[in-house]
Amino acid sequence: GGARGGLKGGSKVLIEAHRHGGVYIARGKEDALCTKNLTPGISVYGEKRISVEVPPPPGADAGAPPTKVEYRVWNPFRSKLAAAILGGVDHIHIKPGSRVLYLGAASGTTVSHVSDLIGPDGVVYAVEFSHRSGRDLVEMAKRRTNVVPIIEDARHPLRYRMLVGAVDVIFADVAQPDQARIFALNAHHFLKTGGGFIISIKANCVDSTVEPAIVFAKEVKKLQEEKFKPQEQITLEPYERDHAVVVGQYRVQKKRKRDDE
């Protein structure tokens, strides 16, 4: 069952849980992906908020008023992770309570939704090199206690090793030619064995002289050489051009096979 609420103009909206834990779909005139707002009443980047009345739980006093829950619309044109979810990715590995290392946090648009998704028991270590974007990130983190902003170069994970513990998932959107190396370096330091990974690859940032499909294949091969096990790859059309997201696991324990040869 879902809870009803209003988007603009008082139209009725039904909130349903998405198959990825911590992600929701607002069903209305137009369906929208959303997350439950960790800081009700506050938008991070001007996104729409949907307030929903939830009936009191069974056993509550007869006159108990319904409680209000607020959701934030997650725009796939502004977030690679939202685009991947709407593109039908099977696993995002990020769930309520997860510890996430996020490389390329920018001003924190997607980070804020990851913060909603993981909830108060999770933590997202958000690494961003640009001081300008970093200012917005730091400001957002003041209100969201599960966000740890790190204004540092992801090429040098040793500089922030005192701030980051072992993580369940690593997400990267760094758009650098050597992004596979940066990703691997951070995973070696912080990602637990069997942990999940998501990397967004922008083809022309890696090599603008060849077809995007070739770039993606080469990047996947680099990841495999670094003990990543890519399990799915999707492109982000129609939200982003020439982007792919690769999802998988790290240092997966191999099941032993008997050699027949």
Q: Cβ(24)–Cβ(17) under 8 Å?
A: yes
Q: Is 248 exposed, middle or buried (0-12, 13-18, 19+ CB in 10 A)?
A: buried
Cis peptide before 238 (omega within 30 of 0): yes
Distance of alpha carbon 225 from the chain centroid: 24
Rounded to whole angstroms, the Cα distance separating 115 from 122 reads 8
Strand ranges inside the chain, DSSP E: 3-6, 12-17, 24-27, 32-36, 49-54, 67-73, 99-103, 123-128, 147-151, 167-172, 191-202, 228-235, 243-250
H-assigned helices in 121-211: 131-143, 179-190, 203-206
Q: pLDDT tens-digit profile of 119-130?
A: 999 999 999 999
Question: Would you state the pLDDT for residue 26?
Answer: 95
Question: Would you state the pLDDT for residue 11?
Answer: 58
Rounded to whole angstroms, the Cα distance separating 218 from 164 reads 30
Amino acid identity for residue 8 in this structure: K
Question: Would you state the pLDDT for residue 6?
Answer: 46
β-pair partners for 15: 3, 26
Give the residues of the chain that fall short of pLDDT 50: 1-2, 4-10, 261
Question: Would you state the pLDDT for residue 93?
Answer: 97
Q: Cβ(26)–Cβ(73) under 8 Å?
A: yes
Question: Would you state the pLDDT for residue 258?
Answer: 55
What are phi and psi for residue 84, nearest 5 degrees? Answer: -65, -40
